Amino acid sequence: MSDGFWATPLDLEHCMFKSITEWVVDYRLKSPIDRGAVPVPVQVVQGFVPSFYAGPEAPDQDKAPVIAVRATQGYYQKQSGKCEVNIMIMTWDDDPNRQGYMDVSNLMTRICHHLLYFVKIGNFVLTDDPIHFMEVVDSFKDFFPYFVGGITCQFTLRSSSPPPMMASLGIVVKQPQIGIEGGQTGWTDVTIPPPQPNLVPESPDEA
């Protein structure tokens, strides 16, 4: 992550990870480690769900329920950019009535509503683009007893380009100086002369 600027896609991932962790802190769902005997909190991760082959640091349990947050694509322009965030949700429920999909739906709804309520996550602002959500269903593979869903949303990114000079926008800039001896009236950007709305422009003959 960047230090102090908080403007990169990875910074956005981290801010979303922290926010979603708070939004779902009260959820308790079934886990395959004990076949749902004791509901467990939802694990939120930045990036990918850790693999079973991640080594001794990886928890010795199945990776559900879990939410993974990734900034997957975007673009930069001179003044700003846009980044798409994918939020993957996976839950587990071996009840044959297959009502476990409701857990995914509830989590998707909770996250979408919080995004729309807060709009600003860290230094990033949600764009006006639609928030898409869907349950993942594969006609060739039955995920049961796992249920999978996803959310995609977009945020603005800061650009490294400096802002345009205010004078180039037709704005007369007056800024008082601070910390300098008295008597200073401040500096004025004279690139564009101040407007004279009550004076008739001189004709070439009068010049």
Q: pLDDT tens string for the chain (207 positions)?
A: 544 455 889 999 999 999 999 999 999 999 888 887 889 999 999 998 876 554 555 555 567 899 999 999 999 988 889 999 999 999 999 989 999 899 999 999 999 999 999 999 988 999 999 999 999 887 788 888 999 999 999 999 987 776 666 555 565 655 544 444 444 455 444 444 555 555 555 555 555
H helix intervals, the chain = 9-23, 101-118
pLDDT of residue 123: 86
**All residues at 6 or more sequence positions from 178 whose CB lies less than 8 Å from its CB, including other chains:** none
Domain positions in the chain: 9-158, 168-195
CB 91 within 8 A of CB 29: yes
> What is the architecture, at CATH level 2, of domain 9-158?
2-Layer Sandwich (3.30)
CB 152 within 8 A of CB 71: no
pLDDT of residue 52: 58
End-to-end CA distance of the chain: 61
Return the C-alpha torsion angle 129, 120, 12, 57, nearest 10: -120
pTM of the model: 0.72
